[in-house]
Structure 1
Amino acid sequence: MNIQDAAHKTVHDYPGGSVSLAPRMGMSPAILRNKVNPNNSTHHLTVAEADELMGLTGDHRILHALAAEHGYTLQRSDAPDAGSLIQGMLAAAAGQGDLAHIVQEAMADGRITPNEVIAIERACTTIQHVLAHVAKHAAAAARQAVPA
């Protein structure tokens, strides 16, 4: 998803859309709609407004789209989810199995379509997310093992 589409969806998928969000951002609903309209060339969402929009909605598609545009993927840096290191490793292994299945199906006809690329990218991102949590579990376990 590109950055403009992400901004548009962030506003329009929010309950109440621009009518609910715009007053919280100090602008009219029409201005906000224009700023996130991919077909509008006169109004633009500023970086500060995009940041505020993500903070208000809890929707970070703009951030992910911006990162993807530059070849990056993002990972939250909060504490690991509940669970154990072993559960994390099992989830990673399951994700790798899912990825292998997706690639196998994509290659069945000898070519990979754009939709199949999206499915492969999503599966890879999921595995990266799970592996980041495995690393966080390991770091948390190491901190607990070190005497104060």
Structure 2
Amino acid sequence: MNILDTLHAVAHAYKGGCESLAPRVGMSAAVLRSKVNPNTETHKATLMDAVHITAMADDDRVLEAWATERGYALVKIPNVDACTDAAIVELMGEAWATHGEVGKEICKTLEDGRVEEKEVDRVEARIFKHAQVLFNIAARLRGMAE
């Protein structure tokens, strides 16, 4: 999904939709709906609009979509106060699960003997998710370092 489609989805998925989100980002619901509609030529969402919508909706999908389009994996920096041995063990379990998801997606891609673009996209998404978890483990360990 591209960032414009994602921005549209984020605004409409907000509890109460555009009517509820619009006053929080300083515009009318009609203007917000127009700005997030990728098919509207009269209004365009600015970068600052996207930032405000993302922050107010507390939804990072636009940021994730942009990172993915640019070939990056987005890693949320953990709260250093929450760096504990138990948190590391929990993240290791998540790493094993995401590693398994990568393997499953690769097997699914190869089972018919053809590799399609959309299948590669799904494998790549699983790999990015796995990388995020691994980088999060490293960041938490760094936060625990004395």
Q: Which bin holds the TM-score, normalised by the shorter protein?
A: 0.7 to 0.9
Alignment partner, residue 142 of structure 2: 139
Q: CA deviation at 1:122?
A: 2.6
TM-score (norm 2): 0.85
Alignment partner, residue 66 of structure 2: 66
The equivalences for 1:8-47 within 5 A come to 8-47=8-47
Runs (5+) with no aligned partner, structure 1: 144-148
Residue 107 (structure 1) aligned to one of 93, 110, 114: 110
Q: CA deviation digits over 1:4-54, x for unaligned, max 9?
A: 101100111111111111122221111111101111112111111111111
Paired residues, what number? 143
Q: State which structure, 1 or 2, has the greater radius of gyration over its C-alpha atoms.
A: 1
Residue 97 (structure 1) aligned to one of 83, 96, 100: 100
Q: Distance in 2 between matches of 1:100 and 1:69?
A: 23
- Identity across matched positions, percent: 36
TM-score (norm 1): 0.84
CA shift in 2, pair 1:78/1:87, >3 Å? closer
Amino acid at match of 2:74: L
Runs (5+) with no aligned partner, structure 2: none
Alignment partner, residue 3 of structure 1: 3
Q: CA deviation at 1:84?
A: 4.4
**CA-based RMSD:** 2.0
Contact 1:36-1:44 at 8 Å conserved across structures: yes
Q: CA deviation digits over 1:77-130, x for unaligned, max 9?
A: 122666344443343233223211220121011112344233312321221121
